[in-house]
Structure 1
Amino acid sequence: MRQVSYLLGGDAVDFGFILETLPTLIRTLPLTLYIFFVSAFFGFILAIIVAAVRIRRIPVLSQLMAIYASFMRSTPGIIHIFVVYYGLPVLLSNFGININNISRMTFSVVALVLYNGAFIAEILRPSYLAVSKQQHEAAISVGMTSWQAHRRVIFPQVVPIALPSLSNALIDLLKDTSLLFLIGLIDIMGQANIIIANSYGIYQLEVYVAIALIFWLLSSVLVAGLHALESYFGRFLRKEG
C-alpha cells in the first residue's frame, strides 16, 4: 500500500511520496556538500590561527580571539548567518565594493566559517596543550627543527585527542547548512521547501522525514570516516603510552 498508518495518531504517512522525493532532494545535495567541505576547510584554517594566537598568548590578539570564540559559541548560528548576509553587504558597500557580484553561497560560507571556526579552535587549543611540552623539547634536543618536532611528534598526538570532539563539530557544521535556505539558498533544504509549497503543505511530514534520512546517512558516513582516522592516529598515542 502507498500509505502506511503512522503510529503516533490516526494520520497516514505516504512512504511512497518519500521515495519519490528523495531523488529530487539528492540532486541538490552537491551544493550542500560543497558548502560543507569549503566551510570545513576554511573553518579549520581560521581555527588553527585562533588557537595558535591563544596558545602563544600574543598580547591583545589573544584577548580578542578569546572574545571572538566566546561570542560565537554563546550565540545561535542563525544570527550569524543573518548578520553576514544582511550586514556584510552594508559594510562592503561603504568601501565601494559591488555586492551584486557576491553570491548567496559566498555569504553562506563566510557565515559558517566564522561561526564554526570558533568551535573548532576551542577543540584544537586544549588538544594541543594536552601533549607534554617535554616531547617538543626532546625532539629539539635530537636535532629536529621546531616544525619537524610538531609535524612528526606533536601533531600526530593532537589529532586523536581532538577527533572525538571534532566529529561533533563537523556534524554540527553539516546540520547548520540546513539553515541557509532562510537567506534564499536553494540547497537541499531550500529544495525541500519548494516541494512542500508545490504540494500545498500536504506532504510536509514526508519531506522532512526524507531530509532527516539524508542527513542521518551523511552524518553516519562522516562519523565512520572520522573513526577510521581516529584509529589510524591512535597508534601514536599507544606508542607514547
Structure 2
Amino acid sequence: MESPMQIVSKVLPGIIAHIPQTLLYWFLPSVLALFFGALLCWARVSNRHRPLYWICTVVISFFRGTPGIVQIYIVFFGLPKLIWAIGYDVSDWTAGVYFVIATTLNLSCFMAETLRGGYLALDRGQVEAGLSIGFSRVQNFVHVIAPQTLKVALLNIKNLEIDVLKDTSVAYTIGAVEIMGYANRMISLRSGLGQLWILGTAAVIYFIMCTVLEVAFNLATRRISRFEGVSR
C-alpha cells in the first residue's frame, strides 16, 4: 500500500512537465482574445455601423450565455465538418487547437464587454484634450484611449485571465493533455487508487500558477498607478 507521499512523488514530475502545455492553452487565447475583444468592443461602441453592432451583440450574448464546455464540444465536433464542407481537411489538427479556438471565441466576448466598460468609464475631457493638442485619431487612441481603458478594465481582465487559466483544466475532455489531462490519465492507470492525492497535487499546482498570475497583475496595476503619479 503506497503512502500519500509516495503517490505525490510519482505524479508530481509528470504534472510539472505539463505546466508549459497548460500555460500555452492559457497564453494563446489570452493574446488572441485581447485583439478580437478590442475589435468587438469597437463595433459595440461605434454608432456608425448599426448592422455590425447587432451582429456582434448577438455573438457576444451567445458566447457569454452558454456554457464554455458546450462551446468546446461544438467547436471540436462542428468546426471540422464546417471546414470540410468548404473543401479543406483538418483531420490532422490536434485537440489542443480546437480548445484554443473555442477558448479564444469565449474569452473574446467577455474581453469585449470588459473593455467596453473601461471605455465607457473614460473621462471624455481627456479624449477631447488629446484631440485639442493636435493628436490624430490614431494617436489619441494609442496615447489616451487605450491606456486609460486598460487601466480601468485591468481588474476585470485579471479575473478573466485567472478564470481562463483554471478553465484549461477542461481541455482533457476533448483529448488535449495538460495538467488535468495527465492527472486524469494517472488516476485511470491506477484504477482510481490515490485519486484524491493526485487531484490535490494538481489543485496545488493550479493554485500556485493562479497566485503568480494575480501577483503579476497587481504589480502591473501598481506600476501604472505609480507612473501616472509621477507623470502628473
TM-score over 0.5 for the pair? yes
Q: 1:70 Cα shift?
A: 1.4
Whichever residue aligns with residue 121 of structure 1, its letter is A
Report SS of the residue matched to 2:54: helix
Tell me the SS of whatever aligns to 1:100: coil
Q: Does 1:19 align with 2:5?
A: no
Is 1:150 the counterpart of 2:141? The answer is yes
**Given the alignment of the two structures, is residue 188 of structure 1 paired with residue 176 of structure 2, yes or no?**
no
**CA distance, structure 2, for counterparts of residue 167 and residue 105 of structure 1:** 23
Tell me if structure 2 keeps the 8 A contact 1:131–1:157: yes
Instruction: Report the 3-state secondary structure (helix = DSSP H, G, I; strand = E; otherwise coil) of the residue aligned with 1:99.
Output: coil
How many Å apart are 1:82 and its aligned residue? 0.2
Matched, 1:140 2:99: no
Query: Which residue type is aligned with residue 210 of structure 1?
Result: T
Q: 1:99 aligns with which of 80, 86, 90?
A: 90
Contact 1:28–1:188 (CA under 8 A) maintained in structure 2: yes
What is the deviation of 1:150? 2.1
- 2:55 corresponds to 1:87: no
2:43 aligned to 50, 53, 57, which one?
Answer: 53
User: Equivalences for 1:1-241 in 2 at 5 Å?
Assistant: 3=3, 14-57=4-47, 58-235=49-226
Per-residue CA deviations over 1:188-237 (Å, capped at 9, x if unaligned) read 11111111011110111011101100110000010011111111222466
Q: Structure 2 length normalisation: TM-score?
A: 0.93
Counterpart amino acid of 1:27?
A: A
CA deviation map 1:152-180 (0-9, x unaligned): 22222222211111111001111111111
For residues 222 and 230 of structure 2, the distance between their equivalents in structure 1, rounded to whole angstroms, comes to: 13
Give the AA of the match of 2:58.
Answer: I
Contact 2:29 2:100 in 1 (8 A): yes
Cα distance in 2 for residues equivalent to 1:186 and 1:139: 48
What is the aligned residue count?
A: 230
**Cα deviation digits, residues 66-121 of structure 1 (max 9, x gap):** 11111111111100000000011111111111122322121111000001111111
Q: Which moved more, 1:166-175 or 1:14-23?
A: 14-23
Moved more, 229-238 or 214-223: 229-238
Q: Distance in 1 between matches of 2:219 and 2:116?
A: 22
Q: Quote the offset at 1:240 in angstroms.
A: 9.5
Quote the Cα distance in structure 2 between the aligned partners of 1:236 and 1:123. 23
For residues 113 and 231 of structure 2, what CA distance do their matches in structure 1 show?
Answer: 24
Once residues 145 and 236 of structure 1 are traced to their aligned partners in structure 2, the CA distance between those partners, rounded to angstroms, is: 24
Cα distance between partner residues in 1 of 2:143 and 2:80? 43
**Which residues of structure 2 form unaligned runs of 5+?**
none
RMSD of equivalent CA atoms? 1.8
Displaced runs of 4 or more, over 6 A: none
Maintained 8 Å contact 1:18/1:209: no
With 152-161 and 133-142 compared, the bigger mean Cα shift is at: 152-161
Aligned partner letter, 1:227: N
**Identical-pair percentage:** 31
Does the 8 Å CA contact 2:80/2:91 hold for their aligned counterparts? no
After TM superposition, the structure 1 stretch with the greater mean CA deviation from structure 2, 228-237 or 187-196, is: 228-237
